[in-house]
A and B are shown apart, each in its own frame.
Chain A
Amino acid sequence: MQFDDLTKLLPAEAILLSEESRRVYECDALSAHRVIPGCVVLPDTIKQVQDVLAYCHSNDIPVVARGAGTGLSGGAMPHAEGVLLNLAKFDQIISLDPLQKIARVQPGVRNLAISDAARPHGLYYAPDPSSQIACTIGGNVAENSGGVHCLKYGLTVHNILQIKVVTITGNLITIGSHALDSPGYDLLALFTGSEGMLGVIVEVTVKLLPIPPFNKVLLAAFDNIENAGEGVAGIIANGIIPAGLEMMDKAGIRAVEGFVHAGYPVDAEAILLCELDGTEDEVNNGLNQVKNLLSGYGATQVRIAKDEAESKLFWAGRKAAFPAVGRISPDYYCMDGTIPRKHLAKVLTGINELSIKHKLAVVNVFHAGDGNLHPLILYDVAKPGELERAERFGSEILELCIEMGGTITGEHGVGVEKIREMCIQFSEDELEQFHAVKAVFDNKGLLNPGKAVPTLNRCAEFGAMHIHKGKDKFPELERF
């Protein structure tokens, strides 16, 4: 058995071989894709990670790294003949320096735990994915995760300084530094969002920011989506960068109201939530300005939160959007395209047409400030054919995003889920460039095989019917 020698590298309790214990890891949050891993390891020292990777490298064993498994694109989906490398035991904050405003943390530390540790110093870690109570910083770096505050404060890539990485050959390398820049090519940017394809992250230094002294939320209702979209553009064109700017459509509003009673107007076609932060005066003045602007764009109702409690309540609705949808539908499929905001109305109309075509309902929540759409497709896995229809529907939404000049994934990653759409977004030469970069770090292709970047053959397999920009994309490859 090829995993036997792992017992020489790790204590027995750090290796899971029974089917029962391996099954726990068969999927991430994209539960439609499941594979039971060949074996699961839970190292707790960097040396053990190095040994396991070097062993896998010598024996040609695939390796899939896993944080909390909250990924939504199947990035941490295991390999049947491979090792699932679980980083859960790396859960320590190594140091926190309030003067430098940085924290050095292990990869399995939960996102929210960093802000909790920084709070006594008046600091926090800005990227705040909705999954922040569960997801790990290692997973965040691997996915370049965002959150509702990333319009103003940036994504993971803007908020980290240094990572330590173990390569597939077992080398430990340091990328970036505690200075603001590092010599040579920007490997930190390359690793951020690389979905576990280039190396295993074993330490992260994050930047911390001072907690804004004050914030407040405004809720605006619209009787058509176009006005809401123009309102968003209006706010930004007026030089205001909100801390958060979220939109929800009618189906979303209704699902949420039935669940948390956030006081959202259920007859509106769309609502906007706009959070400003800064000094109390700045926020209050800014919100008044936003209120006037949005009224000018045809808002039927604009409410500035009276106090902190009401701000929280407005947010509670948005934050409960996914579970609220989970309550009205047995299953839902969360998409993640980004579009230039000006095409919002067109894209939402397109999504509604697709909804009729595929006979599946859809709820739209939207990081409106940065153009990141999260259509939630409602389906029931128990009904034959519905999952397939949902996937087809999702894929067509992503194609629509590409057509509008956007992208197939804003923050959830490609994983196994969007492999096919990668063939549409990128040309053959571009995909080859990605593979060339991958080969620098992992020429045997052992790290997270089959994810993130499709081979040209797979594209040919998928793409028989795909004509890109008027020309057949892979003319020299055989059709299947």
Chain B
Amino acid sequence: MVEKIALIKEQVLEAIENASSLNIIAGGSKEFLGRKITGTPLEMGRYQGIINYEPSELFITVKAGTLLGEIIQVLAERGQMLAFEPPQFTEKTTVGGVVATGLSGPRRAYTGSVRDYVLGIHCINGLGQDLSFGGQVMKNVAGYDLSRVMTGSYGTLGVILDVTFKVMPIPEFELTCFCELSRKDALTKMYELSCKPFPVSASCYDGEKLYLRISGYRDTVKTILTGIGFEEYLNGDQFWRNLRDFRSSFFNTDKNIWRLSLPVTAKPEIGDDQYLIDWGGAQYWIKSDRPANEFFKMAEELGGNATLFKGTGHNENIFQPLQEDMMIIQQGLKRAFDPHSVLNPGKMYAAI
């Protein structure tokens, strides 16, 4: 695969030479995310394979084009998982896409996000340089933590070649339960539970029912179910998978889908729009055709951020607009990695 790396370097150098830019593409499953950009396609999809997996060292190193589904399966065979439960929009979702977008699933609020589990990244920056940051060990403070900085950067800082994740054991037992509650009571319940040493691993309120997933040792989980007075929900795995992959019927819509990431006790103005609350109250999904600025303004006032997750007719701000001084820093970082603006320019913000 040395040739593939050489090829990528060449493409980057060529783009610099021609003052053009690249559009990094892997599975294409997340194409709807982020701002629309042009640029010569740089195909990562065939850069596939597991480089190193050591279950007892709790890490896996994989090439960016490897299918997420394949990794989940390989890990599961050894009783392990990616604890941030990454969305798998289609079977084409790749690891590179997971890291570039930094998106995590329902377990995130309880076990951490993509960047929390990234141990190291091997990449090509915008100068065509082959760089490695972090490594395969869990504790590593040599140099700035640039592999975490690249996570969620939408390919604008470097072409990700390989990633090392920390992996975790799959809980011995999980079950899902639910209870009909008002929004206020559901939120209160979520806060209450999260303040106790109570092994919730996902929680979602759909406007009528609060769903909880409890994970841990079988006996403990069963005892807890008896204790909290919720009813067991038999199709739990399917429920969380649909939520994770945006296949719940809620996501089947022509309206814009907004994602609000908020302090857990914030109470956004939802009005008559349909919504889902995830992450114990820290993430709201809202279906709405209200203007973008209403969401950005509301999220900012509440101390969080909004993203136009899926929608049409709008390519200005997909992500929460940044304050001027913050944007200057972000532009500085972009220049530090990609001074000629070759890598996915404009994918996140017009200016980076």
**Which A residues contact B (CB, under 8 angstroms)?**
97-101, 121-123, 143-144, 146, 150-151, 154-155, 157-158, 171, 173, 177-187, 189-190, 192-194, 210-213, 233-234, 236-237, 239-241, 278-279, 281-282, 285, 338-342, 367, 370-372, 405-414, 418, 422, 425-427, 429-430, 433-434, 436-441, 452-453
Contacts and interface: CB of A to CB of B under 8 A. Distances in A.
A152 B108 CA distance: 15
A407 B142 contact: yes
B242 interface: no
A340 B137 contact: yes
A181 B102 contact: yes
A212 B336 CA distance: 43
Contacts of B153: 185-186
24 contacts: A99-B264, A157-B116, A158-B112, A158-B116, A180-B283, A183-B319, A184-B330, A186-B102, A189-B115, A190-B146, A236-B58, A237-B56, A241-B169, A281-B217, A342-B54, A342-B57, A370-B138, A406-B137, A407-B137, A418-B142, A422-B142, A434-B146, A437-B144, A441-B332
Contacts of B109: 180
Contact of A150 (B54, B139, B320, B327): B139
A128 to B, nearest CB: 14
Given A190-B149, A342-B56, A430-B133, A180 B261 contact: yes
A409 B142 contact: yes
Nearest to B194: A101
Nearest to A432: B129
B63 interface: no
Interface string B219-230: 110000000000
Interface in B141-176: 141-146, 148-149, 151-153, 157, 168-170, 172
B261 A433 contact: no
Nearest to A413: B141
A187 B303 CA distance: 17
Contacts, number: 235
A212 B197 CA distance: 6
Given A233-B56, A240-B169, 16 more contacts: A98-B195, A100-B263, A123-B195, A150-B138, A158-B112, A177-B303, A185-B157, A189-B149, A193-B144, A194-B144, A236-B55, A278-B197, A407-B141, A410-B141, A452-B143, A453-B144
Which 6 residue pairs are nearest across A and B when measured between Cβ atoms? A189-B148, A239-B169, A440-B332, A410-B139, A436-B336, A179-B304
Contacts of B320: 183
B140 A410 contact: yes
Contact of A340 (B54, B55, B108): B54
A104 B279 CA distance: 22
A429 B130 contact: yes
B131 A430 contact: yes
A438 B144 CA distance: 9
A101 B195 contact: yes
Contact of B79 (A178, A239, A412, A422): A239
Contacts of A155: 139
A372 B170 CA distance: 24
Nearest to B330: A184
B220 A193 contact: no
Contacts of A236: 55-58
A22 to B, nearest CB: 29
Interface residues of B, number: 81
A281 B118 CA distance: 33
Nearest to A286: B217
B6 interface: no
A144 B79 contact: no
B290 interface: no
Interface in B52-66: 54-58
B74 interface: no
B269 to A, nearest CB: 16
Interface string B302-344: 0111010000000000011010011101101101110000000
A210 B141 contact: no
A286 B334 CA distance: 48
Interface in B32-85: 54-58, 78-80
A438 B332 CA distance: 10
Interface in B68-111: 78-80, 102, 108-109
Contacts of A234: 56
A265 B141 CA distance: 34
Nearest to A182: B305
B262 interface: yes
Contacts of A233: 56-57
B143 A183 contact: no
Contact of A185 (B54, B58, B333): B333
B320 to A, nearest CB: 4
Contact of A173 (B108, B197, B263, B326): B326
Contacts of B55: 236-237
Interface string B232-265: 0000000000000000000000000000011111
A89 B56 CA distance: 45
A385 B126 CA distance: 47
A397 to B, nearest CB: 14
A370 to B, nearest CB: 4
Contact of A180 (B108, B129, B335): B108
Interface centre among B133, B197, B216, B325 (most CB of A within 10 A): B197
Nearest to B263: A178
Contacts of A426: 142-143
B152 A186 contact: yes
B336 A405 contact: no
